Amino acid sequence: MSGRTKFLMVQGTASSVGKSVITTALCRFFKQEGFKVAPFKSQNMSNNSYVTDEGGEIGRAQAVQAMACGIRPSVYHNPILLKPTTDIGAQVIVLGKPVGILSARQYHDYQKEALPAIEKALDHLRSEYDLVIIEGAGSPAEINLYDRDIVNMKIAQMTDASVILVGDIDLGGVFAAFVGTLELLPAEDRKRIRGFLINKFRGDITLLEPGLDFLEQKTGIPVLGVLPYDEDLHIPEEDGVFWAKKTGTVRENKKILINVVEFPRISNHTDFEPLMKEPDVELRYIREVPAEVPDVLILPGTRSTMADLEFLHRQELFEFIREHVKKEMRLIGICGGYQMLGAELIDDEQIESTRKKIEGFNFFPLVTRFSSKKLTAQVRGIHLESGEEIKGYEIHMGFTEVGRGTALRPGSGQTRRAPTPVFQVSERNGKSVSSMDGAVSKDQRVWGSYIHGLFDAAGFRRYFLNQIRQEKGWESLAPAAGIENCSAQFDRAADMIRRHVKTEKLYDWIGMSCKSQA
């Protein structure tokens, strides 16, 4: 790399205006332009996480952005990750490793200790890359948090970054949001905002032009571009505005109906995006007993397994599952959902609950014991029944083992042997291993696994869906090519930047010239 590393920052008028996707698009655009580029978000609050090659945990959005740059995700791309455990507290992860569960007030006091990790990450990126695209969080004008900001203008100051302010016109009120954000910022921070970017526009842009002219005249800041609403752009997003787009009420003809329980503390919901894109699947998120029994019900990951198991009881979903599993419905548990499938969950240290013990579904004679030690690993292996290759990652604070003399049903007096595993793991964090994962019933209709990201594997995903199709008397389908490959989507996003953004201004702001034309 030659010269000084440049920084360009994407901030928003609010959460869920498209910062993550636009940052991804800019990463891909500058990669195509010939730059060695990397993403960065100093602090991310998300329960969608990813395990890096180092075995560290970062926000999934930054992992996706790194992939758009053509580089391996690293803890330096997201040095601080907050995973909410309650409405007022979160697990704090610094440079990939958990440091504890802190309340919001405790974390505010801890932030000074977190700053060196941010500085270390930035120093690493400066030593490796021409350009870093930074993503902010929420709004820079959260005046109650401004003096403790370590993710928006504080980072722009530390890196001397030019800031693009993004607003979502599809939500309405975008002009007020732009002007209001500027009004609440100190003069020195207003100067860092070099351009406005309007996201998710539908309709005739000529009808928008008077508003664009007014905005530029009112603020003296140029409109960088207007991005169209693109329903065919599928880039994994953060937690916000996820559910409304992924639910349905009437099953389409010849569709496999899959329900995912929307736990109050759900994590890694992106595990199921590949299923959503399959042509023969209708995927819905539920919080109560559904009107129609699905073909498959999935218990996803959760940041508080015991609390969300109690949620199943409150919503009468626990008994619904017991009633319909096997005879009408398949059941899958991933990570925390897998732990629920066992006989018992024990939390002697009260790691995630005030309760020390709770009974699970008891589909398998398994006991989960929670521990303060967190396991994070990338894994590769095979699905034992089909031989299909899988890869994914493990993130959990507990271990699951066969309980001695565990009863088939509480009080039944009957016992079972160790269940059959689902997957054989051959690689963990790049090292060869030979271990088993998960548990599956004899008829293959109930199974669970600790591995996130299983359905990214096209062969395994289609094998699973074809089992259901065959049961219904439908013809099998071949794997849908390319679903797990985001490269085409990255290129589509970059092309949107190229067509709808005044890219010459980007080059002017970062003080660099286009390498692809050099």
User: Is the model's pLDDT at 504 over the cut of 60?
Assistant: yes
User: Cα–Cα distance between 421 and 342 in angstroms, integer?
Assistant: 13
Comparing CA positions, the residue from 213, 94, 193, 198 lying closest to residue 152 is 193
Greater confidence (454 vs 244) lies with 454
The one catalytic residue among 335, 383, 396, 486: 335
Q: How confident is the model at residue 233 (pLDDT cuts 50, 70, 90)?
A: confident
The one catalytic residue among 77, 396, 452, 486: 452
**Same structural domain for residues 388 and 452?**
yes
**Same structural domain for residues 222 and 288?**
no
The fraction of the chain above a pLDDT of 90, given in percent, is: 64
Interacting residues of 100 by C-beta distance below 8 A, sequence separation 6+: 91, 92
For 215-228, how does the pLDDT look when each residue is reduced to its tens digit (9 = 90+)? 999 999 999 999 99
What pLDDT does residue 245 have?
Answer: 41
User: Cα–Cα distance between 336 and 351 in angstroms, integer?
Assistant: 14
Mean pLDDT of 25-35: 96
**Same structural domain for residues 206 and 331?**
no
The amino acid present at 421, given as its one-letter code, is: P
What pLDDT does residue 251 have?
Answer: 63
**Same structural domain for residues 181 and 292?**
no
User: Is the model's pLDDT at 242 over the cut of 70?
Assistant: no
Greater confidence (371 vs 437) lies with 437
Mean pLDDT of 456-485: 84
DSSP per residue, 45-85: E-S-EEE-TTS-EEEHHHHHHHHHHTS---GGG-SEEEEES
User: Is the model's pLDDT at 483 over the cut of 60?
Assistant: no
**Same structural domain for residues 313 and 174?**
no
Residue 110 belongs to domain with CATH number: 3.40.50.300
Q: Give the global pTM.
A: 0.76
234 as an active site residue: the answer is no
- 312 contacts 331 by C-beta, under 8 angstroms: no
What pLDDT does residue 440 have?
Answer: 95
Cβ-based neighbour number of residue 110 at 10 Å: 15
User: Cα–Cα distance between 483 and 498 in angstroms, integer?
Assistant: 24
**Same structural domain for residues 293 and 428?**
yes
For 339-361, how does the pLDDT look when each residue is reduced to its tens digit (9 = 90+)? 999 999 998 877 776 778 899 99
**Same structural domain for residues 275 and 313?**
yes
User: Is the model's pLDDT at 484 over the cut of 60?
Assistant: no
Exposure string of 383-405, with b = 16+ CB inside 10 Å and e = fewer, is: bbbeebebbbbbbbbbebebbee
Query: Nearest 5°: CA angle at 475, between 295 and 462?
Result: 60
Greater confidence (410 vs 14) lies with 14
DSSP per residue, 275-344: HHTSTTEEEEEESS--SS--SEEEE-EES-HHHHHHHHHHTTHHHHHHHHBTTTBEEEEETHHHHHTSSE
The amino acid present at 140, given as its one-letter code, is: P
Q: Is residue 482 part of a domain?
A: no
Mean pLDDT of 298-326: 93
514 as an active site residue: the answer is no
Phi and psi angles of residue 462, each rounded to the nearest 5 degrees, phi first: -70, -35
Using only the alpha carbons of the chain, give its radius of gyration. Answer: 24
**Same structural domain for residues 206 and 288?**
no
Q: Is residue 336 part of a domain?
A: yes
**Same structural domain for residues 189 and 83?**
yes
Residue 264 belongs to domain with CATH number: 3.40.50.880
**Same structural domain for residues 317 and 393?**
yes
User: Is the model's pLDDT at 297 over the cut of 90?
Assistant: yes
Q: Is residue 481 part of a domain?
A: no
Distance from first CA to last CA of the chain, Å, rounded?
Answer: 16
What pLDDT does residue 406 have?
Answer: 44
Mean pLDDT of 79-104: 84
What pLDDT does residue 241 have?
Answer: 41
Q: Is residue 517 part of a domain?
A: no
Mean pLDDT of the chain: 88
For 130-165, how does the pLDDT look when each residue is reduced to its tens digit (9 = 90+)? 999 999 999 999 888 888 889 999 999 999 999 999
What's the structural domain count of the chain? Answer: 2
For 61-71, how does the pLDDT look when each residue is reduced to its tens digit (9 = 90+)? 999 999 999 99
CA 331 to chain centre: 23
Q: Is residue 167 part of a domain?
A: yes
Mean pLDDT of 74-91: 85
Q: Is residue 399 part of a domain?
A: yes
User: Cα–Cα distance between 118 and 78 in angstroms, integer?
Assistant: 8
User: Is the model's pLDDT at 247 over the cut of 50?
Assistant: no
**Same structural domain for residues 418 and 374?**
yes
Q: Is residue 218 part of a domain?
A: yes
What pLDDT does residue 430 have?
Answer: 84
Domain housing 361 = 243-472
What pLDDT does residue 122 have?
Answer: 97
What pLDDT does residue 61 have?
Answer: 92
- 165 contacts 193 by C-beta, under 8 angstroms: yes
Mean pLDDT is lowest, of 23-37, 296-310, 468-482, for: 468-482
For 120, counting Cβ atoms within 10 Å of its Cβ (0-12 exposed, 13-18 middle, 19+ buried), the class is: middle
Mean pLDDT is lowest, of 38-52, 170-184, 249-263, for: 249-263
**Same structural domain for residues 229 and 247?**
no
Comparing CA positions, the residue from 369, 399, 337, 397 lying closest to residue 98 is 397
Find the helix packing angle between 60-69 and 19-32, rounded to 10°: 20
Mean pLDDT is lowest, of 223-237, 254-268, 407-421, for: 407-421
Q: How confident is the model at residue 244 (pLDDT cuts 50, 70, 90)?
A: very low
User: Is the model's pLDDT at 173 over the cut of 90?
Assistant: yes
Q: Is residue 137 part of a domain?
A: yes
For 418-459, how does the pLDDT look when each residue is reduced to its tens digit (9 = 90+)? 889 999 999 988 889 999 999 999 988 999 999 999 999 999
Comparing CA positions, the residue from 23, 26, 27 lying closest to residue 135 is 23
- Token pair of 360, please? 């699970």
Q: How confident is the model at residue 405 (pLDDT cuts 50, 70, 90)?
A: very low
- 214 contacts 198 by C-beta, under 8 angstroms: no
- Token pair of 154, please? 């504080």
- Token pair of 319, please? 């008994």
What pLDDT does residue 412 have?
Answer: 42
- 274 contacts 56 by C-beta, under 8 angstroms: no
